[in-house]
Amino acid sequence: MVGREKELSIHFVPGCCQLVEEEVNIPSRRVLITGATGLLGRAVYKEFQQSNWHTVGCGFRRARPKFEQVNLLDSEAVHHLIHDFQREDLMLLRVSQMLLPS
């Protein structure tokens, strides 16, 4: 969501306190969520979408058609995914479970 949004702020000077409503610029809010096909990932994905974030989810199993299908053990695929997404917020919800010894 990019644009303008109203925000409340408190302006305080000694002897006076005011609640002021101002319009502020809202930057593009994007998040990439790995593990979006899992239980936690789906819940996090849904929360970001409901909060008007541009949300991109990825997973390996059950990924298509809603999510990007990415194997996080494939370093080239991960590099392309992060490069395409660039400098945005990244939530890794699946990596730790995949990297633990069996």
Task: Give 31-100 as a DSSP string.
Answer: EEEETTTSHHHHHHHHHHHHTT-EEEEEESTT-TTTSEE--TT-HHHHHHHHHHH-SSEEEESSHHHHHS
CATH fold label, 28-99: Rossmann fold (3.40.50)
pLDDT value of position 31: 84
pLDDT value of position 39: 86
Q: From CA 21, how far away is CA 31, in angstroms rounded?
A: 28
Q: From CA 14, how far away is CA 22, in angstroms rounded?
A: 21
Q: From CA 63, how far away is CA 60, in angstroms rounded?
A: 6
Is-above-0.85 flag for pTM? no
pLDDT value of position 59: 86
Q: What residue ranges of the chain have pLDDT lower than 70?
A: 1-4, 25-28, 86-102
CA 71 to chain centre: 19
Greatest Cα pair distance, the chain, in angstroms, is 64
pLDDT value of position 73: 86
pLDDT value of position 46: 92
The closest of 6, 56, 10 to 26, measured between CA atoms, is 6
